[in-house]
Structure 1
Amino acid sequence: MIVTMRTKAQAQRVADITGGVIVVKNGKPTPKVQLQGDFEQHRAAVESVSVLFRLCDDAGEQVPSGWTVTGASFEVEWPKDQHKASLIHSHFGARRAAYNWALAKVKSDMEAKQQNEDHLSTPWTLEALRKQWNIEKNEIAPWWGENSKEAYASGIADLVQALSGWSHSKNGRRRGRKVGFPKFKSKRKDQNRVRFTTGAMRLEDDRRTIVLPTIGALQSRENTRRIQRHLAKNNARLLNCTLSERWGRLFVSCQLAVRTSIVSNRSPSKPNARVGADLGLRALATIADGDGNIKVFPNPAPLRTTLTERRRVGRNLSRRIPGSNGYRRAKAKLAKLDRKCVYIRRESIHQLTRYLVDHYSQVQIEDLNLAAMRQSMRRRAFRRSVSDAGLGSFRPTLTYKAERAGVKMVVVDRFFPSSQIHHNCTGRLTGAKLAKRLTCEVCHVEVDRDDNAALNIRDWSVTSPGLVEASALSVPRPLSGTGGSSDDGMTYHLERGCKTSSNTGRTQRGKNNSRTSEIKVRDENLVKGASL
């Protein structure tokens, strides 16, 4: 077995304890250790170093390590002691100060490098910047001893991640929008937060107290039983805690590693059933199972339902004097509406994903292009509705839940026209762009757009992408002989429809038009070959 640790130092410790051999690649040691015999006899030794490791067999195939990373968030009360409350704000400012110092250091090195190529710059790594901070902190921050060292490390780590994102985006190694160069953090705009990775972090046995380094004990407004019981039984390891302020309230987010047997002991109620889920705005999701049953999860649209009240509170806030009691009360009301929208949206996604993994063994979903959906109609109201539904959090939430429950998740090809093919006769569906009901050109039957799309997604197969049994929008590959089927049984589109309207933007339109022209030229050649 091969164990991959996070660092080379951890790998060396594992090798010394277990008698394993460090894997060498290109003459350099790697954080991988080759273990002899069964891994279970070395598990205790490996976990004594770290539980964040990957396990592979001798062939290189990754196997379950027995641990999974999860998290939980708890709201805590602001301390009544003014000294502790000011200490929390001091930690927030310390993180911001370290971030700005590191950013100024990086920018000064870049300017000096342009003037003198022999200038030695500080590497953009957490270790190098922290070492430089420890050298200069007595001069630039003589008050550094009032806060935990983790506050400064948290700010430097955030900058390192931001620089990595900018560098990868600039070099084309990062997908999505271009990431700009990091900017300085201001007290007015920056979100107050600080992350602790070492020190006295624990959850007390009373299940109402969370202890953080330097700050001390904080009273939780929620019961911490869901993770404290695992920590007490040594079935989980606390990795880090993040203290943050949002809507004027304090939250502690705990990240921990839990044994896989603790979180994956559920099995679907329908072990051999497959379901297709079609996401939308009228309904959050329309799902169709193997028996043809259709279930609709309504879209709560929390922002739309509270929009009138938000406008009234916003007008009330604009008429108040900043800093007055009336201003603080109006601001608290607006924050309450924001908090309500976030919680409703998050809860609806959790209920939907939990239902899918609890009932079905295979879930098939769409590969949505949400950025294109927001720009499809070039209207602010439509973009607001797409964001209000919170569709972006559906796939990552379902991914980790399906992995823990052992449920297979299949992502349907993005260009599969699930809303343009009639499920019964495979004819083309026509109608308005956002019409709820569409009409088939072949059998002239009117069908529900969402129900029909859910059925098509359910029957989509990896072996025949773009095809649901037979499609009027496709043509078979030219026959190599006199048989009645193609060589590989695949079907190729004459035209493809993008459900997410990703061809509306200027840049995306050019890419899709070029791709469509290539597909048409290819399919025309296929048709000519078939006629010959």
Structure 2
Amino acid sequence: MTRTVKRAFKFRFYPTDVQAAQLSRTFGCVRLVYNLALQARTEAWTQRRERVGYNATSALLTGWKKTGDLAFLNEVSSVPLQQALRHLQTAFGNFWAKRANYPSFKSKKRSRRSAEYTASAFRWRDGTLTLAKMTEPLDIVWSRPLPEGCAPSTVTVSCDAAGRWFVSLLCDDTITQTPATGRVGIDAGLDSLLTLSTGEKITNPRHERVDRQRLARAQRDLARKQKSSANRDKARIKVARIHARIADRRRDHLHKLSTRLVRENQTIVIEDLAVRNMVKNHRLACAISDAAWRQLRTMLEYKAAWHGRDLIVVDRWFPSTRLCSVCGALAERTPLHVRWWTCRCGSTHDRDVNAARNILAVGLAVTACGDGVRPQRESSRTGHSSAKQENPRATKGILVL
């Protein structure tokens, strides 16, 4: 069984000086148009209670290009500017649906430098990519081939803080869905990145700790440089390269791990974690951020959808650690340094393995009973889940691992 999905293939490329200058100019224009449109929409609502949509901002863009102060917008391709307005419309849609905060202005120093080109703004011919307003194709390093016979529908060009240039090609890819019979519960942690219900513990690589000394030395060098100097800019790039190296290794490890879990198991059960609240603990914030649990969950979500797997998210308030996976009894709270505990029934449990087994059991119970997959807002606020409202011994006999 196969499934066709939209898939982005990201490659690094090395622009010429002319191409780099043109792209940098495009990034600035995209940021300017986004901020101007956001300002216009905000003022229209606060002053006249008028809701401005994409069509109105597109008409404003046409007028901006005819003014003397913004005539330089005609020097870059118009497609990335229109895409910036569409992205702003999407941001407002997420805000109205209460999925995100009110859109904020883009910053020259902090925002991502990128531009999106649709099919009318680039030429794809014989494996070469040429963007609008450019005469030469991009020098792309093809680290892997694109799906045979496909052509990109959207191209996104970006430049990270380390000065590396990337191009992302959105293509239609065919995913072969192979059958799988495995079922696994996953408990996230810091000593072990993941603990599976099978008893396997996946070591936490701690990518940030490996380069911590190099990063600290580079940051000290950066702090000693004079602001707005060329040496400070060189030192900033060194710090950014170390951060990029850490992020690349982390992303590569999570991709391999998530792909393995999705290919081996038909049902994957994970726990809903409030990472944003957990990083408020200043002693563990660095380690929690380095573990990147949210990034792993995102990978599991879209890869499970690609391969036709069932991804179940259980309530964060479910007492997976304290619940005995053998008899179903609820134990007292134990401090984090206690990694083993003994139940009244005589069973001795590893804290993480027991939690993973309970997560799998409640996830399978959710699918069997037809309960909601995701935790409800009301249950999360009161601290009770649908699984916790039942007698803890109700899970006894359902699944013994």
- Among candidates 130, 143, 149, match of residue 223 of structure 1: 143
Task: Note the alpha carbon deviations across 1:94-120, whole angstroms, 9 max, x for none.
Answer: 112211221232234235416xxxxxx
Q: Name the SS of the counterpart of 1:460 in structure 2.
A: helix
- With the length of structure 1 as denominator, give the TM-score of the two structures: 0.64
Q: Aligned equivalents of 1:362 and 1:157: distance in 2?
A: 36
Q: Aligned equivalents of 1:132 and 1:418: distance in 2?
A: 55
How far did residue 219 of structure 1 move?
0.9
Q: Aligned equivalents of 1:109 and 1:431: distance in 2?
A: 54
Q: Aligned equivalents of 2:347 and 2:308: distance in 1?
A: 39
Confirm or deny that 1:423 pairs with 2:314.
Answer: no
Q: Aligned equivalents of 1:412 and 1:433: distance in 2?
A: 23
Q: Name the SS of the counterpart of 2:283 in structure 1.
A: helix
Q: Aligned equivalents of 2:84 and 2:268: distance in 1?
A: 40
How far did residue 404 of structure 1 move?
2.1
Task: Note the alpha carbon deviations across 1:61-104, whole angstroms, 9 max, x for none.
Answer: xxx9953111121111131x3x3322111101111221122123
Q: Structure 1 residues 372 and 186, CA, compared in 2 at 3 Å: closer, same or farther?
A: closer
Q: Aligned equivalents of 1:281 and 1:308: distance in 2?
A: 20
Structure 1 partner of 2:349: 447
Task: Note the alpha carbon deviations across 1:139-193, whole angstroms, 9 max, x for none.
Answer: 1522232110013213322322333333x2xxxx424xx614x444343333221
Confirm or deny that 1:334 pairs with 2:234.
Answer: no
Structure 1 partner of 2:130: 211
Q: Name the SS of the counterpart of 2:101 in structure 1.
A: coil
Q: Aligned equivalents of 1:408 and 1:431: distance in 2?
A: 31
Q: Structure 1 residues 455 and 328, CA, compared in 2 at 3 Å: closer, same or farther?
A: same
Within-5 A mapping of 1:25-44: none
Structure 2 partner of 1:389: 291
Preserved CA contact (<8 Å) 2:186 2:197? yes
Preserved CA contact (<8 Å) 1:285 1:298? yes
Confirm or deny that 1:303 pairs with 2:208.
Answer: yes
Q: Aligned equivalents of 1:74 and 1:188: distance in 2?
A: 24
- Among candidates 179, 187, 211, match of residue 278 of structure 1: 187
Q: Aligned equivalents of 1:84 and 1:237: distance in 2?
A: 22
Confirm or deny that 1:77 pairs with 2:14.
Answer: yes
- Among candidates 155, 158, 163, match of residue 241 of structure 1: 155
Within-5 A mapping of 1:85-234: 85-113=20-48, 121=50, 123-139=51-67, 140-166=69-95, 168=96, 173-175=97-99, 179-180=101-102, 182-203=103-124, 205=126, 209-215=128-134, 216-225=136-145, 227=146, 229-230=147-148, 233=149
Q: Structure 1 residues 204 and 103, CA, compared in 2 at 3 Å: closer, same or farther?
A: same
Q: Name the SS of the counterpart of 1:238 in structure 2.
A: coil
Structure 2 partner of 1:34: none
Structure 2 portions without partners, runs of 5+:
392-401
Q: Structure 1 residues 157 and 298, CA, compared in 2 at 3 Å: closer, same or farther?
A: same
Within-5 A mapping of 1:342-357: 342-357=247-262
Q: Aligned equivalents of 1:224 and 1:112: distance in 2?
A: 52
Q: Which one-letter code corresponds to 2:23 in the other structure?
A: I
Structure 1 portions without partners, runs of 5+:
1-63, 115-120, 468-487, 491-499, 501-507, 524-532
- Among candidates 166, 171, 179, match of residue 251 of structure 1: 166
Q: Name the SS of the counterpart of 1:318 in structure 2.
A: helix
Task: Note the alpha carbon deviations across 1:306-357, whole angstroms, 9 max, x for none.
Answer: 2232121111111123455543442232112111111122112111111112
Structure 2 partner of 1:7: none
Q: Aligned equivalents of 2:230 and 2:6: distance in 1?
A: 43
Within-5 A mapping of 1:469-480: none
Preserved CA contact (<8 Å) 2:12 2:165? yes
Q: Which one-letter code corresponds to 1:214 in the other structure?
A: K
Structure 1 partner of 2:398: none
- With the length of structure 2 as denominator, give the TM-score of the two structures: 0.83
Task: Note the alpha carbon deviations across 1:204-242, whole angstroms, 9 max, x for none.
Answer: 54x5x43222235211234351x2x43xx2xx4522111
- What do you get for the CA RMSD once the two structures are aligned? 3.2
Q: Aligned equivalents of 1:299 and 1:136: distance in 2?
A: 52
Preserved CA contact (<8 Å) 2:152 2:171? yes
Q: Structure 1 residues 434 and 221, CA, compared in 2 at 3 Å: closer, same or farther?
A: same
How far did residue 395 of structure 1 move?
2.1
Task: Note the alpha carbon deviations across 1:401-457, whole angstroms, 9 max, x for none.
Answer: 222223232323433221111223333344633135232340355421111112222
Structure 1 partner of 2:226: 321
Q: Name the SS of the counterpart of 1:196 in structure 2.
A: strand
Bigger mean CA deviation after superposition, 405-414 or 322-331: 322-331
Q: Name the SS of the counterpart of 1:443 in structure 2.
A: coil
Q: Name the SS of the counterpart of 1:217 in structure 2.
A: coil
Q: Name the SS of the counterpart of 2:44 in structure 1.
A: helix
Q: Structure 1 residues 458 and 105, CA, compared in 2 at 3 Å: closer, same or farther?
A: closer
Q: Structure 1 residues 252 and 112, CA, compared in 2 at 3 Å: closer, same or farther?
A: same
Structure 2 partner of 1:13: none
Q: Structure 1 residues 322 and 219, CA, compared in 2 at 3 Å: closer, same or farther?
A: farther
Q: Aligned equivalents of 1:133 and 1:407: distance in 2?
A: 44
Q: Name the SS of the counterpart of 1:344 in structure 2.
A: helix
Aligned positions, number:
381
Task: Note the alpha carbon deviations across 1:241-276, whole angstroms, 9 max, x for none.
Answer: 111110211111222233xxx212x525xx322222
Preserved CA contact (<8 Å) 1:428 1:442? no
Q: Which one-letter code corresponds to 1:210 in the other structure?
A: L
Q: Relative contact order (C-alpha < 8 Å, sep 6+): which is higher?
A: 2
Confirm or deny that 1:512 pairs with 2:382.
Answer: yes
Q: Name the SS of the counterpart of 1:74 in structure 2.
A: strand
Structure 2 partner of 1:263: 175
Q: Structure 1 residues 372 and 321, CA, compared in 2 at 3 Å: closer, same or farther?
A: closer
How far did residue 134 of structure 1 move?
1.4
Q: Structure 1 residues 204 and 342, CA, compared in 2 at 3 Å: closer, same or farther?
A: farther
